[in-house]
Structures are given as structure tokens and as C-alpha cells.
């Protein structure tokens, strides 16, 4: 692509054209192919702008000075853009990508981008990213984020020698498919401020405490609290009670209208001893937090042998022991699953507090029995 480097006058023009394309998503579906072609052309323009920012004309500069305009240009591109290595490990992502994925840039760095996708798309992204990093040319493919179920994103992959990085990296541009529903979903994914989220979590803990106080200590009361935690923190909540050698799955709470209609029953039928993360938590008494995880064995398998991690499209899990006030007796495990952004420290802390309250009630009601560890 010929033309001057993308400078102070060029970037605002690119942003303005991106805004026009976003507004055009309300057009009739028959016009979507034209809009998609225009979107891909703008993506090519953005990639070329980054290349020129990487190696601008003029006298040679130090490596640090060379990287500065690249970073500034990268961060302010109007498209969601992620820089990864050949294994999809994130080098950096810009503001638009952070808003789309729900990931904080500092947290995402060093973690695999593929783990954020639905399991069916992870292998494809890894294979194509490796090919681009190996010099086999750019390409595009549809990928799906669990939090954006209305349609796929289009990932455009291009090799780039980014300043400050060793070897060729891959620039991944994520373009939402045209359509007003996808636009609404993207807007909904904006992360609330820490203050707002703290207020929401305080209200959630108030609801869980009231649910425990309003009922006699029982497994049913604990199951109700697990449901409240699912509503406020996760896509799925699993509650296992009892000693580690004989635990019982007391409750399973999932989305109101899951895409996989049989998944809730599969979780309910599972013996907790066949759920590796629950066994680990109950045996050790230590919490497990796995963010952007793609280990399909962590939840075990259904009766047909299919990994439950894949069926639930889990990208992050938080499993907490229900530890009695004596600090050593474990009465069960609460496991929260997400198909989307990782758990924040605030969220993990709130879940740990709720699990502690649940353990007190479980102990008072002798839920879990005297043989609990």
C-alpha cells in the first residue's frame, strides 16, 4: 500500500471511517458483504500504518525511540488489535481489544489468546498463527468468544517484525461481524469501574448472607447460595459436599437458557471424584484459580467421554474449599466457571468470603458428615 505514513492527520481519519462502518451495521443484511469488504480494507490500512510506524522514514533512531511511535499507534487504533507470538501468547493488546475481550492489558500479556476462544476454535487459531509466524503469509478465519454468542469475529492474521520483540510476531485484528446485535453485545462487555464492581459484590455478599441466615442449616440453603454466586459471578456454579472420599454433588446452576440443553444434567450426574479440580481442592484445602485455561481435563468428562470443560466452553475457573472455622476440616468445594473474561481479584475475594460463610453453615448443619477432612 502506497501513501504517507499514518500520522496525526491520518489516524483521526481512520477513526472516523471506523465510526462510519460501526454506524452502518444497522443497514439491511443484504448490504453486509459490501460493509465487510470495506472493513477488511480498513484493516489492511491499519496494518500498513503499524508497519510504517515500526520503521518510519528519516535518520536511524535508538531501539527504544523506534518502538515509541509503534506503541502509540498500536494503542489508539480504532480496531481491536492483539500482538502475539507464534503460539498465540499475547505481547500486547490495544484499548479496543481490551474492551472487546474484557481483559486488562497487563493481565493478558504472557497468556495465550487462544484460551479465550471457544474450545472448537482454539486449535484453528493456533495452527494459523504458527503458519503466519513461520512466514507462510497472512490469512483470516472466523473465531468465537464465549461472551459474544450472536456471531463470530473475523481474525485477520499478519506477520510483523515489531520493535523490541525478537523474531516475527503476529498481528491479530478482530473484526466483529456486521449486525446490530453484535454491536450491542460488544458495548455490554465494557468492564465496570472497580468502585462500581465493589458495590455490586458487596450487595451480592449481602444477598448470600441473608439466604444463609433465613434458612435452617442445610444442603438446600447452600445450594441456593451457590445459585446466587452464579448469578453474580459466573456462568456455572457447582457445589460438592462431603468428605473427599465420598463427596456428593449437591447443586448445579447454569445459564437460564444454555446452548447445550443437556449440560446441566451431565454436571449433576457426575461423581465429584471424577472432577479433578474439585478433588484437588477438597484434598488440599487450597483454592484453585485458573485464568485463560485450555486444559480440557480439569472438570473431567461426561458419560460419553466428552470433556466438560469443552461442553461448557470454560475459559476461567475458580474452585474454593469450604473450610470449617477450625481451619483444617474441608466440608466440600464450590467451583465457579466462566466462558469469558477472567475473574478479578475483587471477584475472587468475594467468592472466598462467601465460601467461608457457607462452610460455617455446613458445619453447623453437619453437612458433609464427621468424616470430612
**For range 47-62, the mean pLDDT:** 58
How far is residue 329 CA from its own chain's centroid?
33
How far, in Å, CA of 373 to CA of 371, rounded? 6
- Residue 193: predicted pLDDT: 64
With CA atoms as reference, report the closest residue to 354 among 317, 326, 323, 316.
323
How far, in Å, CA of 331 to CA of 362, rounded? 7
Label each residue of the chain as H, E or C. Answer: CCCCCCCCCHHHHHHHHHHHHHHHHHCCHHHHHHHHHHHHHHHHHHHHHHHHHHCCCCCCCCHHHHHHHHHHHHHHCCCCEEEECCCCEEEEECHHHHHHHCCCHHHHCCCEHHHHCCHHHHHHHHHHHHHHHCCCCCEEEEECCCCCCCCCEEEEEEEECCCCCCCCEEEEEEEECCCHHHHHHHHHCCCCCHHHHHHHHHHHHHHHHHHHHCCCCCHHHHHHHHHHHHHHHCCEEEEEECCCCCCEEEEEECCCCCCCCCHHHHHHHCCHHHCHHHHHHHHHCCCEEEECCCCCCCCCECCCCCEHHHHCCCCEEEEEEEECCCCCCEEEEEEEEECCCCCCHHHHHHHHHHHHHHHHHHHHCCCCCCCCC
Name the residue ranges covered by the structural domains of the chain.
10-188, 194-364
pLDDT tens digits for 243-288? 888 999 999 999 988 788 899 999 999 999 999 999 999 999 999 9
Give the residue, 292 or 222, on which the prediction is more confident: 222
Q: Is 368 left (phi over 0), alpha (psi -120 to 50) or beta?
A: left
pLDDT tens digits for 329-346? 899 999 999 988 889 888
Give the residue, 372 or 76, on which the prediction is more confident: 76
Round the average pLDDT of the chain to a whole number and report it.
Answer: 79
Same CATH fold, 194-364 and 10-188?
yes
With CA atoms as reference, report the closest residue to 82 among 143, 19, 35, 15.
143
CATH of region 194-364: 3.30.450.40
pLDDT tens digits for 88-100? 999 888 888 888 8
CATH superfamily ID and name for 10-188:
PAS domain (3.30.450.20)
- Tell me phi and psi for residue 84, to 5 degrees: -130, 170
Amino acid at each position: 500500500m502506497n501513501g504517507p505514513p499514518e500520522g496525526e492527520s491520518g489516524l483521526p481519519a481512520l477513526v472516523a471511517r471506523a465510526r462510519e462502518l460501526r454506524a452502518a451495521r444497522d443497514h439491511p443484511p443484504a448490504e453486509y458483504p459490501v460493509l465487510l469488504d470495506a472493513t477488511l480494507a480498513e484493516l489492511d490500512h491499519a496494518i500498513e500504518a503499524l508497519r510504517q510506524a515500526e520503521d518510519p522514514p528519516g535518520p536511524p533512531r535508538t531501539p527504544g525511540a523506534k518502538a515509541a511511535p509503534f506503541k502509540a499507534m498500536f494503542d489508539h487504533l480504532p480496531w481491536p488489535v492483539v500482538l502475539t507470538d507464534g503460539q498465540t501468547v499475547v505481547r500486547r493488546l490495544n484499548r479496543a481489544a481490551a474492551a472487546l475481550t474484557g481483559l486488562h492489558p497487563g493481565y493478558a500479556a504472557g497468556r495465550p489468546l487462544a484460551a479465550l476462544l471457544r474450545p472448537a476454535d482454539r486449535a484453528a487459531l493456533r495452527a494459523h498463527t504458527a503458519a503466519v509466524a513461520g512466514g507462510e503469509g497472512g490469512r483470516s478465519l472466523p473465531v468465537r468468544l464465549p461472551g459474544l454468542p450472536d456471531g463470530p469475529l473475523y481474525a485477520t492474521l499478519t506477520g510483523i517484525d515489531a520493535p523490541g520483540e525478537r523474531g516475527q510476531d503476529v498481528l491479530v485484528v478482530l473484526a466483529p461481524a456486521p449486525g446490530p446485535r453484535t454491536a450491542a453485545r460488544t458495548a455490554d462487555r465494557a468492564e465496570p469501574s472497580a468502585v462500581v464492581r465493589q458495590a455490586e459484590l458487596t450487595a451480592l455478599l449481602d444477598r448470600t448472607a441473608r439466604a444463609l441466615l433465613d434458612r435452617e442449616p442445610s444442603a438446600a440453603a447452600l445450594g441456593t447460595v451457590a445459585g446466587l454466586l452464579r448469578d453474580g459471578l459466573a456462568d456455572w456454579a457447582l457445589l460438592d459436599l462431603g468428605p473427599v472420599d465420598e463427596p456428593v454433588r449437591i447443586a448445579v446452576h447454569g445459564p437460564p437458557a444454555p446452548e447445550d440443553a443437556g449440560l446441566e444434567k451431565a454436571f449433576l450426574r457426575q461423581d465429584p471424584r471424577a472432577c479433578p479440580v474439585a478433588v484437588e481442592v477438597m484434598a488440599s484445602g487450597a483454592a484453585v484459580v485458573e485464568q485463560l485455561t485450555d486444559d480440557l481435563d480439569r472438570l473431567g468428562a461426561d458419560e460419553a467421554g466428552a470433556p466438560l470443560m469443552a461442553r461448557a466452553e470454560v475459559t476461567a475457573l475458580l474452585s474454593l474449599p469450604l473450610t470449617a472455622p477450625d481451619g483444617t476440616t474441608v466440608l466440600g468445594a464450590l467451583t465457579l466457571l466462566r466462558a469469558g473474561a477472567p475473574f478479578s481479584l475483587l471477584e475472587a475475594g468475594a467468592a472466598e468470603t462467601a465460601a467461608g460463610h457457607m462452610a460455617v453453615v455446613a458445619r453447623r448443619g453437619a453437612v458433609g458428615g464427621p468424616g470430612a477432612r
